[in-house]
Structure 1
Amino acid sequence: MTDEDKDNIERIRKAARAILQGDIKHLHILPAVAIKLLKLTKDDNAKIEHLSLIIETEPVLAAKILKQVNSAAYALPNKITSINKAVTMLGFSAVRQLAINLLLYNRLIQEGSKRAFDLLFFWQHCLYVASLSRRIAVALEHPDPDLVYTGGLLHDIGELVLETHGRMTYSDFIASMDKNEHAVIEEERRFFGITHAEIGHLFCLEWQLPAPIAAIVACHHSLPAEISPYAKYEAEIAMVSFANYIAWIQGIGSSSHDSHSTLQKTVLETLNVEQLDLEALLQQADQDMRMTREFYDVELPGLTTLRATLVKATINLSQISEVKPVETVDTSGKKLSSSLTAPHHSLDPDDFIPRTLEAIQTEFAFDRSIMFTIDPKRRCLLASYWQPEAMLPQTLQPFEIDIGGISGLLLECLREKKAVIVNTNIEPGNPILQRLNTAEFTALPVLNHNRLIGLLYADYSLSKKAIRAQLLPEIMPIAYELGIAMFNAKQYEQQKKHAQIDHLTQLFNKRMANNFLTEIFQRDKSKLTNIAIGFIDIDHFKQFNDTCGHQAGDDALKIVADILRSLTRPGDFIGRYGGEEFLFILKNTNEKGAYVYAERIRSRIERRGKVMSQRFHDLQLTVSIGIAMYNAGYANYSDMVEAADQAMYRAKSEGRNRTVMLSGSAVDKK
């Protein structure tokens, strides 16, 4: 370490003393056992016994790890009863990482936060960056993906230090933020006199964490110089930095304030991004996050929240561009106005496509523009958006181009994926020229991963100007950006649906049930009197799996879901709450109505079970149902859900295949 490095660390240490409530070495930032586990990351002499001993000194942690390794997620053939055996079966890295995740999660959840810095939001960001970093490391054949994962998990630890132990917290910093043209890292230095990366680095040094982790924490916003002792970890830092940027552009930031992130050019120079299949990596990271949510049984900020965060960030960026225009350089060297790229930060095609068409017209003085999308069922290009709106009167709608009938330059555009100019001199009989009453137009392919997803059209029909060939390479980057934006919008819709729907039953999931109840319970209490919650549990469900196999168990769940779907009114809610449990929420009902509805479900399932008894090896498919009607004694919706759950257990204890109403009602039980 050079004298300059030592001086810099001393500066950071001095600044930390001024803003923290105590010496960083004595602050309870992470549990002591987590620090010990982190130190094993690069300890070549570490053995299974060392890891087992550390975990076994924390009985609660040991119990949670054993519970997890014996879950269906790991599908081990025999029950694991010792940490030592768990490490042997799953591997040193897997168990160590599971323990660190549990400890960090417990630390954050116990701390809690209702302020601007949302610890649950922070936890989600850390997990996502960690997961994606490891996936990138695997794709690039890094020798130690688990090390990169740990670095990703801790990269923003400085924000946690400031929030939990700062004289001025990170929440205070967020509250002070206003729309400005400075990066957050610069604003942190103005507010604290130090950045979260610097204070995180100090944390790593004081607790003697492995050098690669300290390097990632210190340099994930700015890769180290060649003379830095951390230069040898440039690849690991770049992976986490790249994952951090991808997280931000999806709205998964470390906090919900409207900050913006930048991607260093040196990151792309360090990583061979061309080797990465980003689509596959994002899908893998999403799968990791789904498994994490199920494991912790916690409602992490949903896609709507993340989208709102991204919208706020985009608004901030657009306002920055008004003060100091942001310019993008295309491959031809022309600088594109920020008005051409800002619309693509939205996730709503009805927002960003019209805005892009309008921006193209403004930038290149076109008179008209159209965005054609592909309708695969009808095998046509469909004019989905156009500017100005009067361009396509009702007589021209719908404006479709049969893909099978395309020829000439337009066919070349689609096949070769290149921009073309079509005019009456070259193709006098072109039907688009005739239909749109113009002498010339340009067509540009809109691509994603080199796959055609649309066609961009523009003309000078009113001004009668000729379209210069030199314009095409200037417009193509916009078409490329548009393709990315359309792909992101489609991915968002798919992920939004996936985040709301249970994949097996196609009913809403537990998260959506909680969201639905949260919205209901925000009403005035006088409007809650006709709300009923019902818990449905399949009787002896384990026998279906054990006797008939898991496919039969899945079929039983689908049958119940289908019956619930067929009997539920619009406006009411049905969902799978977890395992073999379902939940219904009825509005505008009374005790008799709720009971009759539940009995219809129960009896219909019983009848269907009898019909399918042979399929289930003579097992009877029945359900037990518990109902709770709202009363003023319920402080929140979780109390009411718990009451319905208790009623369901009463139905179980009284013989199963029955409905129990848990209230002062005179309604009889079956």
Structure 2
Amino acid sequence: MKHVIELPSSDELKKVITLEGRRLPSFPQAALKLLEMVGDEDVSVKDVARVIESDPGIAAKVLEMVNAAGFGLSRKISTLTEAVVFLGIDPIRKLCIGMTVFQGLFATSNSRTFDRIHFWRHSLSVAVLAMELAKKLELPNPEEAYVAGLLHDVGKIFLDLQGHKDYGEFLHDIGSFQKTIVDLERETLGLGHDDVGAYFCSLWGLPDSIILPVKYHHRSFPAESLPTDQALLISIVALSNFICWTQGVGSFENETVCPPVLAPEIERLVDLDKIDVIARIKAMNREMERISEFYRFVFPTPGEIQESMLWMSFNLSRVNTRLAHRDVTHGAHDHRQASENASLHDVGFAFGKSLSQAGTAREVMDIVMFHIGSIFEPMHWAILLKDPKGEDVIFSAVEGLNKERLQGLRVPRGKGLSGYLAERDMPLISLDIFHDTHLAGRMGLYVDFEPLSCMGTLLKINQQFFGVVELVNKMSGLPYTPEELKILESITEQASMAIERLSYQQSLRKMATTDSLTGLKNRCSLERMLSNRELMLRQYGHDLSIMIIDIDKFKRINEEKGRKAADELLKKVAGILRSTFRKSDNVFRYEGDKFIALLPGTDSQAADQARSRMLTSYDALKREMGVTLSIFVHTVKPSHAKGLITFLEERLVQDKAVLECAPDASVAVELQPVLEQETEQRPEKRKIYRKKVRLDGVLEHPSAKSYGNILVEEIALTEIGFRVTTGPLNVKPGDFLEVSFRLDDTLHSLIERRVIVRSVQGEQVDAEFYNPPPYAKDLGFYLLA
């Protein structure tokens, strides 16, 4: 029975891509003719050579390859017929199909984000591995597997070239989601690359044996209605795509989102024990090393591939652990929450990728808190950090019922749940707090609910304790399990490594831009600022004065009183500079005994006044040290500030003295102040922007087992205000509810959230989202519209 391939219509395609225009590539004629020869036992060397000759670029490449020094030929081969004889019909046909497809379809790109070389490397890897598997499984025409693997993702080319939405931006944004790429394509773009690719393969007149793997490599397929060889070919391409992904050879850089989906038919059709996957991967690697020389791109080394496989396997195993042991709760929201927030990749892929992209300690904390809420669904969870000035720990990030009361609260050493964790110096789990004598008297902080079960872990770097993660009670009412404690340990271990990475980056940044002796900004920082015209105009306005401060006869102090006295003098001068100038002024230690101050909005008269203030402030130190200052003032326009670098180099004599660097503080000492500083620097994020709306929705009260309708009247990224129109009115502060509603945007986006009730006035309910995602795309765009 012949299977009818269901393809999207041209009208459906037109909603996603532009079908008209010269930019749409056609399938290369040379490749099409070579493809027709696949499986033809009567094809001759001359037939293949004649097709290759029709494409001068490919012909020249073939002759160049066969005459390469690596083949060790005693004479130069000048005809394609000889080249085909020497290389063999099947290898040269496979190579030429690949080369013509690359030049005709894959070489050009519409987006910088969608790297075609990276994409081509993935396509070739899938093609080579598919052919290796096809040979092992004795498929009649293994070259068909090669071509199908080569074209399996061809739909992405059309989405990139002619898509109505920018495909590069789409790839850039998908790290925020936990769905497969093809599902996100369907939701965001309108069609998946599998359907788009199958459509064009059919339009080109390619055989069904190629079209079917292109269409079904991401989904279940009707194996019963297909010939066995065809069903096996689909399985081979899908499996090859998955294996390449596990090695870090995805279709675009940093592809660590949800893995390709393997249809259930694949396990039934492909005997993994029979094919010896490891041997096939090794054969693929050898072939790709040869191919990489031909295409002149770098393929991952065996060591890099092994490392990628290790991390992918590690992440997958951790995901499976959570899948096997995670408590299952009942109710309509549990299914929604599992699909949106607690998917299989929260622990491994989304969590790991989010941490790798975090740029600040606060971002790390937000990511950790979100994933803890998604995975364990606690009623209270928090991160407490060690106070750098004492032994207390501070509630630095809190979510759940105790959020407002506990945020910023200090817990003395040895007190509370966190104190017990620190004293034990090991993870903690309590299945029944009431009967746990060790926790008696320690749970008084949690007044909004009765503590039943808890668990916690320590944050450490190099065995140095700097914080605690604690969870109390689960939404389901069930106790925490030892398996969940292992997952929490893994999360905190990764969080600690992310924080350590950021602390090293911060130290390097500090070393690069800060003078270690005085704590002022250094010469590099000054030159970077002066080189950025837009930054200068934005920061300094229309008037800018530069003040050069030079300590007279500084070298004599160094020679007569020693290095330590000279360093103390520099630090005292730096202290006077800090106290004298305004907060808007920037002060730098340029080199040696020379300091520079940039004074925004300061004309020459105001600069002279600043000079007088500086000299007055220095009088006391002048009498103490017997050293005077020379101060030079120069006023310029910020638009000419780049020329100040040349001006400074010409005016100042460089001091070659090198001063000793001070050691950096530990993470435990630095983290809490850094976190407080980052929080202060993001005031806009702390503001709640609420939008007036009128959106119909539904409400579920899980504990009361009741349902109702609501009218959403105010909405924000983290809060919601609604009126109960029909249904339960027995809602009170502290209740957990499930709400869902559709936005009145063009996509009618569905928003489903668990909320914590904050206040109730008659039918009016004001609530806060339970564990809102760090980035809610649909809701975010809606609020900005």
Q: Bin the TM-score by the shorter chain.
A: 0.3 to 0.5
Rg larger in structure: 2
Instruction: Report which of the two has the higher share of strand.
Output: 2
Instruction: Report which of the two has the higher share of helix.
Output: 1
